[in-house]
Structure 1
C-alpha cells in the first residue's frame, strides 16, 4: 500500500499493483505521511498517532461523565459518534455496557481522579448489584493485602477453556 498526493493537494491511499508504478515514476508517493481521507478521525493507521483501545475507552467515558454529570460537552456530537463507532469496530465492550455498568466505571474513574461522584455506600451497593447480575465489569484480578498477608481474587476458573486448550495435547500424546 502506498500514499499519493493528487494535483489538488489531497492525499489518497493506493494499493500496490499496476496503478502504483506510474505514481512512483512520477515521484508523487510520499513515504512519511500516513493520511487517508476515507477514514474516521479516530481511525489512523499511523503507528505514531493511533491511540490505544484503552485510551479511546477512557476518552469515551470522560465524554459521558462530562455530559451527564457536569452538564457540558467536551466534544461535538459528531466526534462522539465517530469515537463510539471506532470503539465498536475495535470490539470494545465499553460501548455496549448497561447504564449501571457505565455509572460504575465513571464512578471508579472519578474516584481515582479525586472527584468522587458517588458516596461509598452508593458505590458499594452498585458494585454488589452488578456482581449479583453477573457483570464482568466488577470482576477484579488478584490483589493482596500487606496487613493481613492474604491474596484476594474475584476470578473463576474457566473449565471449558482449560479442556479445549488441553485437547490438542491429549490427541498428540495418544497418537490419534
Structure 2
C-alpha cells in the first residue's frame, strides 16, 4: 500500500464519540439538488435520500473543515476519482465498467456542474443494487475518515446523527466499531478498489493490535446482518477478498 498521511492516533478515538469538526454550511446553501428526481426509483427513506444528496454535494466540493479550498467545478478526471471513492469495494474491472457507464452520461462536457453530478451519480448501478443499508454504511465510514484524517466535514452534525441513528436502528455493526476497527475496515475496503490509504507497515501494526484485542473485524467474521443474508459493506469486503 502507498504511504499515507493517516495516523493511528488521529483515529484512535472511539467511533461512537465522534463529532464533526464543524456545522458550517460551505459555499452556497447545501440543499437537496433535484432529490425527488434522482431518488424516485429507489425505495429509500426520504431523510436518508436527502442526506445522500448532501453527501454527494460535499464530496463534489471537497471543502476543508473550515470551509476553504472548495472546488467550484469538477473536470472528468476528478469525477472519475470521486466515483471510485463512493462505490462499494468491488473488483477494479467492475469499477472501471461502472465508471465508464456513468461518465458516458456527461458526453463531451469538459466540466460537470454539481447539480448534474448529483443527479447522474446518485443513480449508479452499484448504489441501486447494493441497497440503502450499504450506501449508508459507505457514507458513514467515509465521514469518519474525512473528519479524522482528511479534515473535511462531509455532513453537518444533525445529518451525521440521523445517519448513525438509522444504522443503529437497522442493526448495522459499524456504529459499534472502535476507532481502530473502523480505520482498518476503511483501509481494507479502499485497497480492494485500488485506493491504498495506508502503508504496509502501518497496516500490519494495526492488524496486529486488533488481533491481540480479538477483534472480529480482522477474523473475516460475518457481521450480524450479513449472517441473515442481507447486503452489508462488510459483506462486499468479504466477497471481494474471496475472489
| TM-score normalised according to structure 1 size | 0.50
The structure in which a higher percent of residues are helix is 2
The structure in which a higher percent of residues are strand is 1
Q: Which has the higher contact order (CA 8 A, sep 6+)?
A: 2
For the pair shown, the structure with the greater C-alpha radius of gyration is 1
